[in-house]
């Protein structure tokens, strides 16, 4: 039973990634039950019509993702971890979901940060904001400063879990192919008035105004969503949404 490889062109062109995806797919579909052994590398190479090194690379990817356990001389065994992990590990999350989550979570984080932020951290946030202003033309730099701005606020909470969550949300945004496409459109459409909103957040932080920071953060992200909706024609949005729905069963395991 051979499996066509070019079927799923979702992940990066790397061959091992596509193989790892398919491998993960057939595992999650129950072709091999948890705890059982996967076919030998050589057999898999034959089945997927790739070489053994490629299979090994794919297995390493699965191993690092926690899907399988490799026992030397014996075989590759499927971890008994729940399907929850599989489904949620690297699900392809759309940009709207991410922004909605950021509204909720970063709003709370900003409120907490306002109460805990130090003068030095405020200076760093201010610096990030200035970077956004001065280098507004260079998009990538601006975006980096944006990330820095938000992550600095998360860090100001002095809570590693919050930092981890915000970092995770940002990683979701950067890894999602759907997000990439839509964000590209937004970039083309230009994004000017973002600085004022960031400034409002900064002011609330400086005033140690928790509720104000929360409100400013929510306002800011809400406007981002609005802009995203405006910049994206309804048809494109629908297409993206459908793509997300379509990909939901599957999972891209490579970040």
Partner DNA sequence: AGTTTATTGCGGTCTGACCAATTAGCTGGT
Partner DNA sequence: ACCAGCTAATTGGTCAGACCGCAATAAACT
Nearest approach in angstroms of CB 16 to DNA is: 5
Torsion angles phi and psi, residue 145, rounded to 5: -65, -35
What does 43 interact with, of DNA, its own copies, none (CB < 5 to 8 A by kind)?
DNA
CA distance between the termini of the chain: 29
* Sites of contact with DNA (CB under 7 A): 13-16, 38-43, 45, 49-54, 56-57, 70-76
Nearest approach in angstroms of CB 1 to its own copies is: 27
Nearest approach in angstroms of CB 36 to DNA is: 12
Ramachandran bin of 208, using left for φ above 0, alpha for ψ from -120 to 50, beta for the remaining angles: left
Any residues with CB less than 8 A from the CB of 24 and at least 6 apart, and which?
Answer: 62, 65, 67, 86, 251, 253
Query: In the numeric block, which tokens belong to residue 87?
Result: 């489904």
* Sites of contact with its own copies (CB under 8 A): 13-14, 16, 53, 56-57, 60-61, 64-66, 70, 72, 84-85, 88-89, 91, 93-94, 97-98, 100-102, 104-105, 107-109, 112, 151, 159-165, 167-169, 171-172, 244, 248, 254-255
Nearest approach in angstroms of CB 58 to DNA is: 10
**Nearest residue to 102 (alpha-carbon basis) of 184, 224, 194, 229:** 224
């Amino acid at each position: 039973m051979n499996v066509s490889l070019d079927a799923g062109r979702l992940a990066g062109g790397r061959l091992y990634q596509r193989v790892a995806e398919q491998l993960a797919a057939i595992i999650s579909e129950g072709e091999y039950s948890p705890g059982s052994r996967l076919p030998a590398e050589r057999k898999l190479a034959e089945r997927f019509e790739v070489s053994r090194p490629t299979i090994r690379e794919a297995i390493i990817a699965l191993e690092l993702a926690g899907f399988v356990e490799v026992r030397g001389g014996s075989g590759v065994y499927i971890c008994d971890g729940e399907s929850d992990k599989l489904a949620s590990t690297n699900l392809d999350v759309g940009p709207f979901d991410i922004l909605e989550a950021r509204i909720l979570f970063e709003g709370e984080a900003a409120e907490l940060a306002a109460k805990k932020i130090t003068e030095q951290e405020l200076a760093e946030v201010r610096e990030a904001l200035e970077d956004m202003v001065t280098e507004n033309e260079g998009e990538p730099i601006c975006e980096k400063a944006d990330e820095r701005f938000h992550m600095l606020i998360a860090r100001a909470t002095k809570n590693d879990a919050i930092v981890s969550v915000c970092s995770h949300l940002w990683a979701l945004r950067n890894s999602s192919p759907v997000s990439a496409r839509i964000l590209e459109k937004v970039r083309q459409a230009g994004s000017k008035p973002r600085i004022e909103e960031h400034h409002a957040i900064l002011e609330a932080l400086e005033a140690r105004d928790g509720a104000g920071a929360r409100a400013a953060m929510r306002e800011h992200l809400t406007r981002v969503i609005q802009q995203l909706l405006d910049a994206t024609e309804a048809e494109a949005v629908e297409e993206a949404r459908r793509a997300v729905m379509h990909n939901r069963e599957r999972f891209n395991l490579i970040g």
